[in-house]
Structure 1
Amino acid sequence: MTSTQNFIVTLSCADRPGIVHAVSGALLQAGCNITESQQFESPESGAFFMRVAVSTPEGEDALNAALAPVSREFRMNLGVYAEDRPLRTLIMCSKEGHALNALLFQQRTGTLPIEVPVIVSNHLDLKPMADFYGVPFVHIPVTPATKADAEARLLELVAAHDIELVVLARYMQILSDDLCRSLQGRAINIHHSFLPSFKGARPYHQAYARGVKLIGATAHYVTADLDEGPIIEQEVIRVNHARTAEQFVAMGRDVEARTLAHAVQWHAQRRVLLDGHRTVVFN
């Protein structure tokens, strides 16, 4: 019996008639069986987006060769990815471990398709957690005087470990504009959804003092505009007057961890495509 391989094909281009027909024909030429297909035409940008999961006895080279003429004809941004290859991911953290623990736990249990070769932190507080999961931990302190050198060291690690995604799991440092540009489209951050109402320190305590009824989290791509990158996932939960400020914090940590894990999972599964300042999420 001939063995098959599974691939994910993603594409985006200017919308016009014939795209799906051309892509389907190329996949048939490559001996592919389509197991999942999603598409979207953006009314704002006029762009077409598609994600297709396929199985085929042919290899990646044959699949790329079959799709290449279609990609040229429609001027596509095309990607072909082996479905069983985990995404090489560098996680950054500071002192709070809830988001880091969620990612490492789900990776270990096989529910998050990432591989984590290194964790980077500007503090040593979470080194024991990294040691528990058996992931190398690199301490890179950051001060105003050392910020440029610290970011250069980070990029060295990204290159040395063939990193495809950087995740800021409650990493409490603002990245420079240059670093944001270097990591464009491949860095995800998480923050509470109170912005801009409750900025700065202790946002959950500020929210508690104002009697908010909803708390939540936003996972987004990192851009030079602080906390304003294209949004991948958001979640909210209801709270009421009976909750304490400490319960707000605990509930906020839970929703942050879930939201970040969802965003990382969808990115790793190639389900997120950029449409300008927005995202198309085939989840």
Structure 2
Amino acid sequence: MALIFSKCTAASINSLARESTIFFFPVGPIEDHGPHLPIVLDILEAEAVAVKTAEQIEKVQPGWTSVVMPALPLGIDSNTTHLSISVRPHVLRDWLVDSCRHLSRLGFKYFVCFSGHLGPKQLTAIEDASRLLRGTLMLRWIKKAMGKTSPVLISASSALVDRKTVKASPTWPDPEEHGGERDTSIALAISPELVSENYLELKEQRKNRSKSSRLWQRCRGKLSGYWGVPASAKRDLGIKLLSDQVDFVTPKILSVLSGSNPER
């Protein structure tokens, strides 16, 4: 069972083995997902995937301990802009770097960040934090010569973005669905009590086919609501989607724990 950092005492954290403890940071933006879903859905998803992955790591790596950090509303990108709360890139990046550095001073080495939103700026900030934490190649050589190693931060969610998605919208998030079947299924799997019962009555909303119009709405802060088919959502689908994320990223995390480059 993964430890929840907010419920731990200082003594319990200090008792953890430094070489076999891994910390998970769930983050995401606050934004409109339609009239039926909570505005913190991205954060809830990041936390759910982080907890499930933490438990999976402990299962396949006997002797390892996973610690899940508090889920925080730190999102740079958002799919909608009318009702969204985001932060500047350096806020997310620096918070990750500072948090990991403070824990690394206690001797901990391994950190993973999950984002409930896969926007390009969001993932870039997390990846930048990873590079800053590791330091330059020269610094790593010096540490190695001194018998020390740099802490490692893995941007786990970066592995969930395929090339097709990056090519379609390399600079701003532009998903085919938002608040539709996929997101509603995820919410039903995580916290069904937070899903408004009227989702079954919501009609399909189609995405504006003009990319320039979508970008204009976005820049004006007018992009809102949902697009997709919320009424098609199923809890079982949400459970599968969460499990698929865990199954996909776990081997990649394990490879980094075995010495692979976290930036590959």
Q: Answer yes or no: same fold by TM over 0.5.
A: no
> Larger % of helix: which?
2
- Class of the TM-score when normalised by the shorter of the 2 chains: 0.3 to 0.5
